[in-house]
């Protein structure tokens, strides 16, 4: 990542609010996005992430607060005069134009001659790997190609910010994973700020420098991917990002975790500060492990019964009912030596580590 915070943030959101009638779509959003940053807005559908992106682009007028781009207040500035360009969810490729005409659409006012335009269009198409398709009609493109055209069409204008509205959601899994890597490469190459909207937490974790997790029009947490995954600010964020097991617990002198027993509060991650009384303890599946015969836990172990086995090829998920617990906990094992031996109903020993625990007040 090439953050350049010295010159001040590129985008500043200050107390941004948006109402649709009585519906409060954006609640006091404040954030700063730096130049060259890959920033993601992540949340379930209806959380306001797309509204916020459209507000930055200029398609939605905000009801309160300010949006500044390179220090300039964007209030009343229409989308065509903002230094932003957007890749739409549907890609919005003009069906009546060729690929080249689509990519060159925004160059009308650039003052370039025809030869320069053609060169710029060629370069933009090469950048997204479509150099050979310039003359093709836009309606004859596949989903992945349409997306590349949409990227080239936006990047050719050298915007300060590229806004991407769920750009990968229409692609199949394989293509999506390839495009994730390509988008990251592209962003490093052109060095401009990318703001991505997505509901796919994996996509956000893979690509972003920083992620804003949004629920009901509010930013619940703004952090880099590792922080977000390791130290989720709230139980809800923890639940939304990846998989997390929650065990009921009581905090006093020590932390009394149902099914696991007493734990020293020291070393347990506690994002919301010191806890006392009823609370929840979160454990990620990969921090738990099945112990085979002869193996001993690195930290501590507990007994249980295998409730469900979900085989994923590279991994196997086990749902294990721990002694003294109602709901099973999920744990994941890497299948390094073929598929593991335990079947549904088998007795299991589960290794766990207090240092992997995240505790939230109830």
Partner 1 sequence: MAQGLSRDARQGLTIVSPALIFALLLLAFPLLTIIAFSFWTQNFLEIDRTFTLENYSEALTDPLYRALMMRSLRIAASVTAVTVVLAFPIAYFISFYVRPEKKAIWLFLITIPFWTSYLIRIFLWRVILAFDGPVNGTLMELGLIEEPLSWILYNANAVVITLAHAFAPFAILPIFVSLEKIDRSLLEAAKDLGEGAVMTFFRVTLPLAMPGVLAAVLIVFIPTVGDYVTPRLVGGSGGTMIANMIYVQIFDLSNRPMGATLAVVAMLTVTITLAWAILHVRFWVHLNDRVGGGIAGLALAGAAAVVDVGILWWLWTNGADWFGPAGVLGVMAAIMAGGAISIAVFLPKGRWGI
Compute the distance between CA of residue 111 and CA of residue 43 in angstroms, rounded to an integer. Answer: 41
User: Based on CB atoms, which residue is closest to partner 1, 19 or 105?
Assistant: 105
105 touching partner 1, by CB under 8 A: yes
DSSP 8-state class, residue 170: T
- Regarding 45 and contact with partner 1 (CB under 8 A), the answer is no
d(CA 321, CA 111): 69
Name the region of 168 (left: φ>0; alpha: ψ -120 to 50; beta: rest): alpha
User: Applying CB under 8 A, does 157 fall inside the site for partner 1?
Assistant: yes
Assess contact for 339 and 292: CB atoms under 8 A: no
Measuring CA to CA, which residue among 26, 359, 36 is closest to residue 195? Answer: 36
Q: Out of 106, 122, 129, 248, point to the residue binding partner 1 (CB under 8 A).
A: 106
Nearer to partner 1, 81 or 274 (CB): 81
- By C-beta, is 63 or 101 nearer to partner 1? 101
- Residue numbers 70-89 binding partner 1 by CB under 8 A: 78-80, 84-86, 88-89
> In sequence order, what are the residues at sequence separation of 6 or more whose Cβ sits closer than 8 angstroms to the Cβ of residue 88?
150, 165
Q: Is 153 in the site for partner 1 (CB under 8 A)?
A: yes
Q: Residue 14 belongs to what H/E stretch?
A: strand 11-20
Smallest gap from residue 129 Cβ to partner 1 (A): 21
Structural tokens at position 186: 């592209």
The answer to whether 160 contacts partner 1 (rule: CB under 8 A) is: no
Can residue 90 be called a binding residue for partner 1 (CB under 8 A)? Answer: yes
| Closer residue to partner 1, CB minimum distance, 150 or 356 | 150
Pairing state between β 218-223 and 210-215: antiparallel
Is the CB of 2 or the CB of 142 nearer to partner 1? 142
- 161-191 burial string, b = 16+ CB within 10 Å, else e? bbbbbbbbeebeeeebeebbeebbebbeeee
What would you measure as the largest C-alpha separation in the chain, in angstroms?
76
Q: Give the shortest CB-70-to-partner 1 separation in angstroms.
A: 17
Question: Binding of partner 1 at residue 49 (CB under 8 A)?
Answer: no
The verdict on 317 binding partner 1 (CB under 8 A) reads: no
> Please, which residue, 121 or 247, has the CB nearer to partner 1?
121
Question: To 10 degrees, what angle do helices 114-127 and 143-155 make?
Answer: 130
Q: How many chain residues touch partner 1 (CB under 8 A)?
A: 24
**Residue 19 engages partner 1 in binding (rule: CB under 8 A):** no
Residues contacting residue 54 through CB under 8 Å, at least 6 positions apart: 60, 165
Q: Name which of 112 and 291 has its Cβ closer to partner 1.
A: 112
Q: Which residues bind partner 1 (CB under 8 A)?
A: 57, 59, 78-80, 84-86, 88-90, 92, 94-97, 101, 105-106, 108-109, 153-154, 157
């Amino acid at each position: 990542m090439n953050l350049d915070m010295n010159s001040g943030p590129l985008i500043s959101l200050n107390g941004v609010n948006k109402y649709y009638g009585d519906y409060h779509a954006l609640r006091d959003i404040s954030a700063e996005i730096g130049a060259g940053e890959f920033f993601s807005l992540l949340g379930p559908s209806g959380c306001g992430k797309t509204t916020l992106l459209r507000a930055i682009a200029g398609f939605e007028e905000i009801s309160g607060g300010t949006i500044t781009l390179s220090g300039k207040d964007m209030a009343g500035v229409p989308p065509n005069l903002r230094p932003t360009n957007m890749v739409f969810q549907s890609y919005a490729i003009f069906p009546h134009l060729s690929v080249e005409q689509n990519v060159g659409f925004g160059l009308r006012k650039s003052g370039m001659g025809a030869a320069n335009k053609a060169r710029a269009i060629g370069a933009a198409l090469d950048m997204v790997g479509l150099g050979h398709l310039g003359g093709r009609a836009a309606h004859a493109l596949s989903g992945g190609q349409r997306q590349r055209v949409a990227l080239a069409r936006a990047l050719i204008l050298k915007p300060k910010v590229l806004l991407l509205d769920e750009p990968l959601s229409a692609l199949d899994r394989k293509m999506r994973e390839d495009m994730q890597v390509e988008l990251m490469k592209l962003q490093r190459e052109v060095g401009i700020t990318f703001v991505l909207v997505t509901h796919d937490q994996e996509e956000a974790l893979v690509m972003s420098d920083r992620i804003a997790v949004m629920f009901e029009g509010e930013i619940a947490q703004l952090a880099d991917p590792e922080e977000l995954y390791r130290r989720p600010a709230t139980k809800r964020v923890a639940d939304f990002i990846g998989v997390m097991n929650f065990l009921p617990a009581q905090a006093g002198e020590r932390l009394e975790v149902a099914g696991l027993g007493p734990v020293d509060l020291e070393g347990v991650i506690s994002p919301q500060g010191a806890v006392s009384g009823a609370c929840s303890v979160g454990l990620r599946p990969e921090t738990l492990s099945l112990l085979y015969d002869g193996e001993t836990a690195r930290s501590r172990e507990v007994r249980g019964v295998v409730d469900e086995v979900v085989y994923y090829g590279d991994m196997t998920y086990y749902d294990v009912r721990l002694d003294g617990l109602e709901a099973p906990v999920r744990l994941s094992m890497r299948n390094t030596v073929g598929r593991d031996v335990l079947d549904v109903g088998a007795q299991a020993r589960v290794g766990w580590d207090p240092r992997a625990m995240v505790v939230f007040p109830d």
